[in-house]
Structure 1
Amino acid sequence: MQENKVVDRTQVQVEAILFDKDGTLLDFTGMWGFWTDCVLNDFREQLFIRGLEMDEADLPKIWGTFHDEQGRMNGYDVRGPLAMGTMDEVYAVLTWHGYRAGLSWAEAKMIVRACLAQAEEAMEVHRPAHPLPGVREFLEQSRNQGLKMGVVTADETASAVKHLQWMGLDAYFDVIIGTDLVDRGKPFPDMLLLACERLSVQAQQVMVIGDTDGDMEMARAAGAGYKIGIGESGKIQLADRTIQTFHELLSGGLGR
């Protein structure tokens, strides 16, 4: 076997690639921006009905998101809760803001769950999941070269499978691991180690591609062979290499 050209200077023999989902395989702002707008608009309406309101200045502080003048999400903090947290953590943060606005904790929990349910219904209708540039080509190239592939995501497994199906990408993956399948999600190594077990590979034979330092820390803690961050240079501190798009890996090749 030839060494992988993407990681040739590390002398790593890559047998499998594990991908984060949101912000790595799919456009994070496109999908989670839609979801965030649905949830927060409904949440603010529920507060208004009860004579309460949320300070608009608090919007970016809730989940680590950026918003335009109309309040629509148009970006996110790769270090924030929405980018790195589990869905239960995301729910808890919004519940806390409902409590801060004047709701009882119990009422805040019920309202948040109702808002989330409505957002999920809207997601099913619009299916706002779109692959990032070069993703499909890179997956096809990797599959043709016999590399095993999996997804390790902070999302729930069933949701992850559904989002990949929406994009027609699910068939590329030998394993899909959501945070609900392990005791500890990212940045702990549990998901990566479970994926390695199911793929019958060693962690040092795995390349991890993700868009946050939570992904990179998971890879480091598990002893992964190589870590690639996708996104703006300098924002993912723990990556061995940072790329802007998958086209950079396609041009470099994954020779075996």
Structure 2
Amino acid sequence: MNYQIQEDGSMPTLITPHGEHSISAILFDKDGTLLEFVSLWGSWGECFLVRFSRQLKEHGLEFPVQHLASLLGTVHDAEGRIIDYDRNGPLAMGTMNDLYAILSWQGYLLGLSWAESMELTDRCRQEADALMEQSKPVRPLPGLLHFLDGCAAEGIPLAVVTADETAAAENHLRWLGIRGYFSAVIGTDQVERGKPFPDMALLACERLGIQPAEAAVIGDTNGDMRMAKAAGMAVAIGIASNAAAEAAPAAATARLGATSSPAGVNAAATVLATGSSRAADTRPARSLLPDADCLVQSYAELGIGRIAR
């Protein structure tokens, strides 16, 4: 279904620093690709970890603070704020059920029954989700809106393929004001296997009415790149922006909600202000995204044009 072909026979082209690619559609990851990862998930993670530790203390248990950063794959500053994340870690690549299982397992290891630990994790989830709904801590990546406008101007159908659940992804896109750009939103709850398997990409192409070889994938983890390869996509573009440099003010609103009382402040200081067991990831982008066909720092390096067929 090549309805983007114009009367002069030209096709949409994705212009990258490493060449041009004739495409019929683009599939985007969400977190770290459309929205700044730390702006949303740093806020969520801080809120969840504070409440998780607080709930454990109410059961007479204490989670070792030195393990908090490695629990989800986050990088904390000296004040306990999440400033970066492991792009190959559970917060970046796992499903929400993966994250809940990790946290429930920790409660079980500390002495709770599995049922008690699951209930504790679910209470923390509800509190963190409610705070996110209230504060809506999302920001688009630099240059994203201009790039989406360029895609829309050329009539290129777009879809989102995310490890998040579909309903949550729909909310986040609406918070950003960009839901209208996308013809399909595919969450991990719609497929049997999530990233790095091809299922979401293939379903998105089916919904858009195109062949996988006609689509580009843009993402920020190697799971996105491997999904693109497994699905036979035309090109896999890695967004390799420095999240740590952009993250300083990211979670301020949600942190205020998490620590709005003296008790909350003390809990946050006690629980999180310990630094990280991981240093900010300074490895070359190529080593983080080895399966990308092309790496860019921002959308300013990408463009949309047309080539004659």
2:254 matched to 1:245?
no
2:75 matched to 1:22?
no
Match of 1:164 among 162, 168, 173: 173
Give 5+ residue unaligned stretches, structure 1.
none
In structure 2, the partner of 1:50 is 59
Q: Distance in 1 between matches of 2:98 and 2:293?
A: 28
- The Cα of 1:11 is off from its aligned counterpart by 6.8
Counting aligned pairs with the same residue, the percent is 48
In structure 1, the partner of 2:203 is 194
CA contact (8 A) 1:7 1:226 kept: no
- The Cα of 1:12 is off from its aligned counterpart by 4.0
**What TM-score results when the alignment is normalised by the length of structure 2?**
0.79
* Larger RCO (alpha carbons 8 Å, 6+ apart): 2
The code of the aligned residue for 2:26 comes to: I
Q: Distance in 2 between matches of 1:24 and 1:103?
A: 37
The code of the aligned residue for 2:305 comes to: L
CA contact (8 A) 2:14 2:20 kept: no
| Shift >6 Å, 4+ stretches | 8-11
- The Cα of 1:102 is off from its aligned counterpart by 2.1
Greater shift in the superposed pair: 149-158 or 70-79: 70-79
- The Cα of 1:13 is off from its aligned counterpart by 2.1
Q: Distance in 1 between matches of 2:202 and 2:162?
A: 13
User: 1:223–1:243: structure 2 CA closer, same or farther, 3 Å change rule?
Assistant: same
User: 1:4–1:72: structure 2 CA closer, same or farther, 3 Å change rule?
Assistant: same
CA contact (8 A) 1:16 1:205 kept: yes
- The Cα of 1:61 is off from its aligned counterpart by 1.5
Match of 2:235 among 219, 226, 231: 226
User: 1:47–1:201: structure 2 CA closer, same or farther, 3 Å change rule?
Assistant: same
User: 1:212–1:8: structure 2 CA closer, same or farther, 3 Å change rule?
Assistant: closer
2:69 matched to 1:60?
yes
Q: Distance in 1 between matches of 2:35 and 2:20?
A: 29
Larger Rg over CA atoms: 2
- The Cα of 1:231 is off from its aligned counterpart by 1.1
Give 5+ residue unaligned stretches, structure 2.
1-9, 242-284
CA contact (8 A) 1:12 1:205 kept: no
Q: Distance in 2 between matches of 1:48 and 1:89?
A: 23
User: 1:5–1:224: structure 2 CA closer, same or farther, 3 Å change rule?
Assistant: closer
Q: Distance in 1 between matches of 2:195 and 2:133?
A: 26
User: 1:134–1:12: structure 2 CA closer, same or farther, 3 Å change rule?
Assistant: closer
Q: Distance in 2 between matches of 1:45 and 1:142?
A: 46
Greater shift in the superposed pair: 49-58 or 149-158: 49-58
Q: Distance in 1 between matches of 2:11 and 2:205?
A: 21
CA contact (8 A) 2:38 2:82 kept: yes
Q: Distance in 2 between matches of 1:45 and 1:217?
A: 38
Match of 2:40 among 31, 34, 38: 31
**What TM-score results when the alignment is normalised by the length of structure 1?**
0.95
